[in-house]
Amino acid sequence: MELTELKRKIVSSFNGTKSDLDSVLAMIDQDKAVFPFNKYEYLICTLIAKGGISYDRYIEIRTEYINKNPNLGIFEISAPRDFGENFAQNYVQKKCRKLERPSKELDRNYTGQYDLWLDGITIEVKASRAVDRDSNSKEPLYMKALSRHTKKRLLMNFQQLKPQCCDVFIWVAVFRDEIVLWVMNSDEVLNHPLYSEGQHRGNKGNEGQLHVKNDNIDQLHQFELKDDDIEKAIRDAADRKSS
């Protein structure tokens, strides 16, 4: 349930007069909401005050929305390091106890160039959140968050990709209702049609990026983790590279 659907749900639940509803909607459109208050709580509170929505119905709508959008809190993570390391790497590592944080003891050549280690396989974790690319750029991410099967134009950007620094990439794609993992080896990333070298001017191709949109996301389908066996997916990806 995205925000436009939420608004429709609230409005359709109102059983007061049309004139009351129209006046409330006009007032909401002119509202200058600021965090932590927003137009949706203002809309619900005003409709409750008009007697057109019961408190119990509000609780039903609220519970349904929370259950359908379990990942919205991830969109509120503002610091890139907190999102990339504290969330994404921990999320992947919890799926397999054999995944280790690298160190000089495991790899004497380790200098921070990758994130995880699995029996000699070096792994880089990259994460991005699916947002509405047609929304106001000044809106917070949780206002632009999209669901997995949205009809809107989505955008995810996986940046600072260095295929020369790892064996396997794990891409963590966060939607408001689902988290998807794509597992590819570094050669598959380097040769993928969506991969573009030279993320920053002057880096001479050492660092690339990949833009995922609604019209190209199907090109990653073959790499999607479907059975939740992340260890097997990593080993399979590494085997494809070695062969």
Mean pLDDT of 196-204: 57
pLDDT band at 3 (very low <50, low <70, confident <90, very high): confident
30 Cβ contact partners less than 8 Å away, ≥ 6 residues apart = none
What is the reported pLDDT for 136? 75
What is the reported pLDDT for 35? 67
pLDDT surpassing 70 at residue 205: no
CA–chain centroid gap for 33, Å, is: 25
The more confident residue out of 230 and 196 is 230
Place of tokens 């160039």: 113
Order of strands across the sheet with 195-196? 131-132, 154-161, 208-213, 195-196
pLDDT band at 200 (very low <50, low <70, confident <90, very high): very low
What is the reported pLDDT for 202? 45
- Sign for the pseudo-dihedral over CA of 224, 226, 228, 230: negative
The more confident residue out of 234 and 20 is 234
DSSP letter at 139 equals S
Order of strands across the sheet with 121-129? 116-118, 121-129, 168-174, 179-185
pLDDT surpassing 80 at residue 243: no
What is the reported pLDDT for 137? 72
The more confident residue out of 1 and 115 is 115
Domain ranges of the chain: 3-68, 72-242
Mean pLDDT of 116-120: 97
What is the reported pLDDT for 131? 95
Cα 65 from Cα 215, distance rounded (Å): 27
Own/partner pairs, 55-58, CB within 8 angstroms, 24+ separation: 57/13
The more confident residue out of 32 and 148 is 148
Asked, as a colleague might, if the bond just before 70 is cis with ω within 30 of 0, I would say: no
- Please write the tens of the pLDDT for every residue from 85-114: 889 999 999 999 999 999 999 999 999 999
Average pLDDT, the chain: 90
- Please write the tens of the pLDDT for every residue from 134-175: 887 778 888 899 999 998 999 999 999 999 999 999 999 999
- Please write the tens of the pLDDT for every residue from 41-74: 889 999 999 999 999 999 999 999 999 999 999 9
Give yes or no for a contact between 169 and 186, defined as CB atoms under 8 angstroms apart: yes
What is the reported pLDDT for 138? 77
Mean pLDDT of 105-125: 95
The pTM of the full predicted model, rounded to 2 decimals, is: 0.85
How many CA atoms within 13 Å lie on the side-chain side of 19? 0
pLDDT band at 203 (very low <50, low <70, confident <90, very high): very low
In CATH, the architecture of 72-242 is 3-Layer(aba) Sandwich (3.40)
Least confident of 23-32, 81-90, 184-193: 23-32
